[in-house]
């Protein structure tokens, strides 16, 4: 931990030295909520989001905040270690071609719905899930699709000498629809109840024991499981792409972890709702993934179960520039050179791609160094080839 701020209603504990003013204002809003529990934890990759900073961890008593989960519910990482110890550039390009053929990227969906048996099972009758019941058929076409923004598929080389596969994606449009519906509902109900939380904080809440809060939690958990099913399907197709180019190859069990969700957990002797928005659970012994930006290492980590962070850690490098800012300020040739000199087959082609260039992100090694009390590094994975959404 780098710093503790005690000027607000509850303490703010930070695992970074400095943070942009917008994110700090949001953290202070969180710390002054009437139902916040114990303190607010801020991970080393934190930056401004909607309502709650990405990289924030907040526990609450009896309330859930849709904007403290975010719009890409269940977004997360998965990684698989292969038996391969190398791939030539020719074979890597052949694998990427097959991945692009079988996995829709960006805003693209499948032309037809995927197998319903691959979808999550609902905890309650599907027709009671307001948004998911309406969006279910559309979600079937989104299953096994990458999405845009910072979502990626990477082939990497670990310091263990093995080739690794990694996928970063979430709940696609399904999670977006659920998040927006319940944030709007929370705003309406908060106005009706005369909530004293300023609307411009963007932290409208739902009591977890209310009908709206209960249905949101069910829909949110469905989206978390949908995001997992989405990553799992893509990983199977990445493995198939590898096998279409080189055999034999064996694959170890998939590591999977989410970083946008809320869950009931026990902390400091009390059951509370822990909101992790752009933060990863890091319970003692739990294996996790902290990805870098395009062209920088990613890390397989093991949680230390640090109570002060609500057993959490960073979810990645974290942005230091907004998307438009990166397009304006970064040098395209310099960013391409940075990747080319490492021999990485990358996705930076034009100015529009600079929003996901390494220069738009914080230094991943500094992020890791700032949270060595939260996680232990097990493996460093360096990119060989990258597909961006």
Tokens of 269: 């002797």
| Closest listed residue to residue 114, CA positions, set 242, 234, 257, 222 | 234
Tokens of 242: 């590898």
| Closest listed residue to residue 97, CA positions, set 269, 237, 205, 214 | 237
**DSSP 8-state class, residue 82:** B
Within 10 A of 327 (CB to CB), how many other CB atoms are there?
18
Edge-first strand listing for the sheet containing 3-5: 3-5, 11-14, 36-47, 54-60, 270-277, 260-267
CA 243 to chain centre: 28
Distance between CA atoms of residues 292 and 278, nearest Å: 13
Q: Residues 109, 151, 168, 315: which is the catalytic one?
A: 315
Distance between CA atoms of residues 325 and 341, nearest Å: 25
Distance between CA atoms of residues 47 and 58, nearest Å: 15
| 168 assigned to active site | no
Q: Compute the Cα dihedral for 298, 303, 309, 310 and give only its sign.
A: positive
CA 372 to chain centre: 20
Catalytic residues: 315
């Amino acid at each position: 931990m780098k710093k503790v701020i005690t000027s607000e209603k509850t303490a703010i504990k930070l695992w970074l030295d400095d943070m942009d003013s917008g994110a700090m204002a949001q953290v202070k809003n969180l710390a002054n909520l009437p139902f916040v529990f114990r303190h607010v934890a801020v991970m080393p990759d934190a930056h401004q989001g909607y309502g709650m900073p990405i990289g924030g961890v907040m526990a609450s008593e009896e309330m859930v905040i849709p904007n403290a989960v975010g719009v890409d519910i269940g977004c997360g990482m998965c990684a698989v270690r292969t038996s391969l110890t190398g791939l030539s550039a020719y074979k890597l390009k052949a694998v990427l071609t097959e991945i692009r053929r079988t996995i829709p990227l960006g805003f693209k969906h499948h032309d037809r719905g995927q197998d319903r048996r691959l979808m999550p099972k609902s905890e309650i009758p599907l027709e009671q899930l307001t948004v998911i019941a309406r969006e279910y058929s559309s979600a079937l076409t989104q299953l096994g699709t990458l999405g845009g923004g910072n979502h990626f598929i990477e082939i990497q080389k670990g310091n263990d000498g093995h080739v690794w596969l990694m996928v970063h994606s979430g709940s696609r449009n399904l999670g977006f629809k659920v998040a927006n519906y319940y944030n709007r509902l929370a705003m309406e109900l908060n106005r009706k109840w005369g909530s004293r939380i300023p609307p411009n904080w963007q932290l409208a809440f739902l009591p977890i024991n209310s009908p709206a809060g209960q249905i949101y939690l069910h829909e949110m958990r469905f989206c978390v499981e949908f995001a997992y099913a989405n990553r799992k399907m893509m990983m199977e197709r990445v493995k198939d792409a590898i096998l279409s180019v080189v055999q034999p190859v064996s694959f170890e069990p998939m590591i999977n972890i989410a970083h946008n969700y809320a869950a009931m957990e026990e902390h400091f002797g009390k059951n509370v709702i822990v909101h992790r928005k752009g933060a990863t659970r890091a319970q003692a012994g739990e294996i996790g993934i902290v990805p870098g930006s395009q062209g920088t290492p990613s890390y397989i980590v093991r949680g230390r179960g640090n109570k002060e962070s609500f057993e959490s850690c960073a979810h990645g490098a974290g942005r230091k520039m907004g998307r438009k800012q990166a397009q304006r300020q970064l040098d395209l040739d310099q960013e391409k050179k940075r990747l080319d000199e490492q021999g990485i087959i990358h996705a930076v082609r034009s100015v529009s791609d600079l929003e996901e260039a390494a220069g738009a992100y914080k230094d991943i090694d500094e992020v890791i160094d700032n949270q060595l009390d939260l996680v232990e590094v097990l493996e460093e994975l360096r990119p060989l080839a990258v597909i961006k959404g």
